[in-house]
Amino acid sequence: MRNLIWKQWRESRILLAIFTIWMILSVGYTVLYELGHGYRAVVGSFSSSAMLYNLVASIVLAVRTSQGEQTEGTLSFTTSLPISIYRVATVRIAAAASTLAIPLLIGAFLLAIALACGVVEQAEPRDAEYSGRLLQRPTAPLGMSLEQLSSVTAIAVFGGVELLFVISLCGCWLRSQAQVGLLGAVMALGSMIAEGAFWYGQRRPIAQLIYGVALPQSLMIQWGYGEATGDYTDHELAPFRWLSLALAVPVLAILASSFVYRYGSRSASIQTVKKRRSWIGLPTMVSRLPVRLPNRWIALIWLELRQSVPLALFGLVFAILVTVAGVFMESRHHQGFGTSFRMELPHSVFFIGMLWAVVVGSGLYSRDLDLKLGNFWRSRPISPAMWFWCKFIVGLVVVLVVLDGTTILVSWTAPRESMTSGMSWAYVGCFPLIHALMYSLAVLGTCAFRRPVIGGIVAVAGYFVATAAITAFPMTLNLEPLSIYNDLLSAERAGHVDFTQHGYPFVYGILAASIFVFALSASRLAKPLQPTFWWFARAPIRAENG
């Protein structure tokens, strides 16, 4: 058992260090931002950082936990060892949960020190008397602030660990890390939608308690507000959160036990189970149709369309489901369901489009950069540049047409009652470029590290780090891409459409140039079969004749 723990520590220590640095930097940014603006919203900011951290960490750890040994080819060796495979699975899932939870606890501890030393302050929590904005509420005593921080941290730990367990369990039925990552992204966003079910309208504490047992992250919600000099996040907690978390412990134990049983059963039978094929399958019949394409370019385009269109359509379907859930939960509009759906669809596609641009970008390149398919492509009469740019351009066009094009077409005639409803020229000018930026970042990360999950993390982390750097200073706050979009939208709602104002040519010109630079860099990284980085590329070893 000691050797198993040591082995798992050796495998997880790099991720633990990365995640710990992530949370330390997040707390540092939260404290510095609070010192600069004085909103007294450090707990809400920490909860937002923890939510983003959980989304990424749970997916990365679930991918490694459920498919790591199978991908690296060590699963058969592990099953041959004189040790129970169920014990191996127990150590793997426990190490993954610890790797996720420890950075959160370290971050909360550092923020608690800042609160105890009086470096930052927290306003009193939301209640019936102070249900409005946080700036109107008095400063909370230290004990109340620490209790709020403890509650937020406990909910984040339980919610992140549950998401990790669920994705890991489902990942045991899948065949690749890319599939686990895609499923994890869908589940993570789905959990974000589901957690707000009991926060709109009249509060029902007992219902929140019961719901929180199955979905611990639903015991907390963040409310975002914007001011002239910046923005802040207010948070609200369910009344019986600690009891709900205590009742959630058996649920987590059941999920962990289910993973151990499934992982052990799959591993024990891996040598005997064969994949069943059906000769009557529709994809097989379609692929066998005798269609001769006139040249290599058309053949490549057809191949990339077959790969990218289904991925993009999954994203569109997911955005539709998110919009339907939002219409039913919030009920802010007085129109019929169809009209309300068309009004809310652009708001959903903006965020879903950012995620799905990353999914498509990393998914398209992950398989072709594998050694097996990579060797196949090198043996074809197709240059690496032709292969890369055809894949890049077709995938980008499909993402923009399927997600943004469909949204613009469906929602253009919808009523425009508020800033977040209906279509606008500001959407047309801003969001497709942001989606293209996320796509190119995902392609760059995937080509550099040869792992789709890492490529997706590079894209998401790169965008959020750049956004945090821009919004950290009051003089650059208005240069943030979403801030420019809001300014353009406000002017458009007032009857003025002018893309030469509010810094749009400068900022979005930089975004367009960045897309080209990222694509060019990715094309250079994708050429060799093994990843080669310019700054520490190793020269080939030459054999000497002796």
pLDDT in tens, 309-359: 888 888 888 888 888 877 776 655 567 788 888 888 888 888 888 888 888
Which range, of 59-73, 110-124, 138-152, 269-283, averages the lowest pLDDT?
269-283
pLDDT at 405: 93
8 Å CB contact between 112 and 149: yes
Final residue in a domain of this structure, among 268, 286, 308: 268
| pLDDT tier, 186 (very low <50, low <70, confident <90, very high otherwise) | confident
Domain check: are 262 and 298 in the same one?
Answer: no
Q: Is pLDDT of 535 > 80?
A: no
What is the structure's pLDDT at 544? 37
Q: Quick one: tokens of 299?
A: 């053949």
Same domain, 26 and 96: yes
Residues 27 and 175 in one domain: yes
Whether residues 220 and 323 share a domain: the answer is: no
User: pLDDT of 4-50, one tens digit each?
Assistant: 777 778 778 888 998 999 899 999 989 988 888 888 889 999 999 99
Total number of domains constituting the chain:
2
Q: What is the per-residue pLDDT for 543?
A: 38
What integer pLDDT is reported at residue 134 of this predicted model? 78
Whether 45 and 186 map to the same domain: the answer is: yes
How many CA atoms are closer than 13 Å to the CA of 348, on its beta-carbon side? 27
Same domain, 186 and 330: no
What distance in Å separates the CA atoms of residue 248 and residue 157, rounded to the nearest whole number? Answer: 12
Domain that holds residue 327: 294-532
Residue 367 belongs to some domain of the structure: yes
- Asked if 314 and 260 sit in the same domain, the reply is no
Same domain membership, residue 310 and residue 255? no
Q: Which of 440, 444, 445, 355 is nearest to 397 (CA)?
A: 440
Separation of alpha carbons 67 and 46, rounded Å: 31
Segment holding 234, helix H or strand E? strand 230-237
287 within a domain of the structure (yes/no): no
Whether residues 472 and 525 share a domain: the answer is: yes
Is 349 in the same domain as 216? no
Nearest-10 crossing angle of helices 337-368, 371-378: 70
Asked if 47 contacts 222 with a C-beta cutoff of 8 angstroms, the reply is yes
Task: Show the tokens assigned to 343.
Answer: 């009004």
Nearest to 460 by CA among 354, 363, 367: 354
- Would you state the pLDDT for residue 213? 92
Tokens 């507000």 label which residue?
Answer: 225
Tell whether the torsion through CA atoms of 114, 118, 123 and 124 is positive or negative: positive
In DSSP terms, which residues pair with 139 in a beta bridge?
123
Identity of the residue numbered 139: T
Last residue in a domain, options 252, 268, 284: 268
Which residues are CB-neighbours of 109 under 8 A, at least 6 positions away? none
Instruction: State whether 257 and 301 are in the same domain.
Output: no
Q: What is the pLDDT of residues 345-377, one digit of tens each?
A: 888 888 888 888 888 888 888 777 765 655 565
Taking CA atoms, 278 is separated from 275, 282, 285, in Å, by 10, 9, 11
**pLDDT over 90 (residue 284):** no
| Complete DSSP assignment for 308-350 | HHHHHHHHHHHHHHHHHHHHHHH----S-HHHHHHHHHHHHHH
Nearest to 432 by CA among 310, 346, 493, 499: 346
In-domain check, residue 285: no
111 within a domain of the structure (yes/no):
yes
Q: Are residues 44 and 82 in the same domain?
A: yes
pLDDT above 60 (res 273)? no
**Bridge-partner residues for 534, per DSSP?**
none
